Amino acid sequence: MIAYKEEWLNNLQVRNEASLANDKLCISAQEKEQVFAAYPVGFYTPNPFVRIGLFILTCVILTFSMGLVSLLFLNSFNSDDFIGGIFIFFGFLIYGGLELMVSKRHYKSGVDDALMWAAAGCIITGLNTAINTPAQINALLVFVLALLLFLRFHNAIMAAIAGLALLAFVFLSLVKLGEMAKAIAPFVIMMASALLYFFVKQNITSGKWKLYTNGWLWLSVTALVAFYAAGNYFIVREASVAMFNLELKEGENIPFGWLFWIFTVAIPVVYIVRGLQKKDAVLLRVGLLLVAAIVFTVRYYFHVMPAEIAMVLGGIVFIVLAYAVMKYLETPKQGFTSKDQNETFFMDKLQVESLVIAETFTGPALPETDAGVQFGGGSGGGGGASGEF
């Protein structure tokens, strides 16, 4: 299913571990080079600046190419079906170019990134233009296309888009079922987000999906944020007013408003506590970031102080909270520490990678070579020799 050569992807992971070990002074530069020599990678992956340049250049070429071809059919552009067909045609043509560039060993080079996004954008735009798909079907199309691109090219952002599109499809399908369905929509989305998160947690450590680790990580963050958003008072209230035409008087609360206020404050706290208990950095970091959502939501509805003071107090709360967590983790708690996450990640993997490194560094013993006759050290001169000869 993966378009890239899996052996090189596995070798790339070993190289990354070796680089991380070298940065942490666990192995020497010479040992790192030995790992790189033992695990070759044939991908073309330039530095970030070249990658950005190639991405922009590819987008410019695609834009001018589509514009040039469109000029040939300028008189036919009075039909939405024709315009949609042109976009779909270009989408599949660009996808063919993407497969071609991947076969030429491009991996995160900027060219394959641009072709992937352009192909997806053209196909979705074409279908919406030609068929005028409703939002529900559009969410399903985005989910299917993003999922396929994630599985084929293991792009992490596509995994997050697929997760959001799936939740959007569930929400849009639910609200069509009537007023009762609209009332329970936040709870259904919270349940769907929780199921998505636990599904990711079960597969993120599976050997079958180890090459998709970054995608699973993005998907888990998406599920955690979506779970909180579905229970956030501000989002539920404003979405009910904008989408469901809920009429509220000034100061009037939404149904079950007290419950959503509890969710707004309690969910980030639960994330932080469970993150510390389970040694889960994703839960901990998402919980810390969502503390800002608590401050924003409370500040939006309760103007108890000027914005400047609220921002200062919010910053103080962040600093105190971060300091407390760092002090708590200053002494490692079963491998979970306030040190650099990369170091922890490497140490977690060390038992596995040490076998690879040991096999790499272990080679046949070099035979002892005959040094030959060694001259020098004598003090004799002329026609005779002393006892020190």
Residue 75 is predicted with a pLDDT of 67
311-318: long-range contacts, CB 8 A cutoff, minimum separation 24: 317/291, 318/288, 318/291, 318/292
Residue 74 is predicted with a pLDDT of 65
Q: Supply 99's token pair.
A: 């497969």
Q: Supply 154's token pair.
A: 């293991």
pLDDT (tens digit per residue) in 159-182: 999 999 999 999 999 888 888 888
Kindly tell me the burial class for residue 308, based on how many C-beta atoms sit within 10 Å of its own C-beta (0-12, 13-18, 19 or more).
Answer: exposed
Q: Which residues contact 158 (CB under 8 A, 6 or more apart)?
A: 116, 146, 147, 149, 150, 215
Residue 304 is predicted with a pLDDT of 66
> Does residue 155 contact residue 116 with C-beta atoms inside 8 Å?
yes
pLDDT (tens digit per residue) in 48-63: 899 999 999 999 999 9
For 376, the 3-state DSSP assignment is: coil
Q: Supply 1's token pair.
A: 């299913």
Give the global pTM: 0.76
Euclidean distance between CA atoms 373 and 375, whole angstroms = 6
Euclidean distance between CA atoms 254 and 245, whole angstroms = 12
> Does residue 75 contact residue 92 with C-beta atoms inside 8 Å?
no
Euclidean distance between CA atoms 248 and 241, whole angstroms = 8
Euclidean distance between CA atoms 213 and 96, whole angstroms = 26
Kindly tell me the burial class for residue 247, based on how many C-beta atoms sit within 10 Å of its own C-beta (0-12, 13-18, 19 or more).
Answer: exposed
Largest Cα–Cα separation, the chain: 121
Nearest to 335 by CA among 279, 286, 383, 283: 279
Euclidean distance between CA atoms 270 and 257, whole angstroms = 20
Euclidean distance between CA atoms 192 and 164, whole angstroms = 11
Q: Which residues contact 71 (CB under 8 A, 6 or more apart)?
A: none
Euclidean distance between CA atoms 240 and 129, whole angstroms = 29
Rounded average pLDDT per 10-residue block, the chain, 389 residues? 81 83 81 85 89 94 87 69 85 94 90 93 90 87 94 90 94 87 89 92 72 86 94 87 74 78 92 85 87 82 71 76 75 57 40 35 41 46 44
Tokens 């040094």, located at residue: 371
Euclidean distance between CA atoms 232 and 226, whole angstroms = 10
What are the residue ranges spanned by the domains of the chain?
43-132, 135-231
Residue 78 is predicted with a pLDDT of 66
pLDDT (tens digit per residue) in 6-60: 888 888 888 888 888 888 778 888 888 888 888 888 888 889 899 999 999 999 9
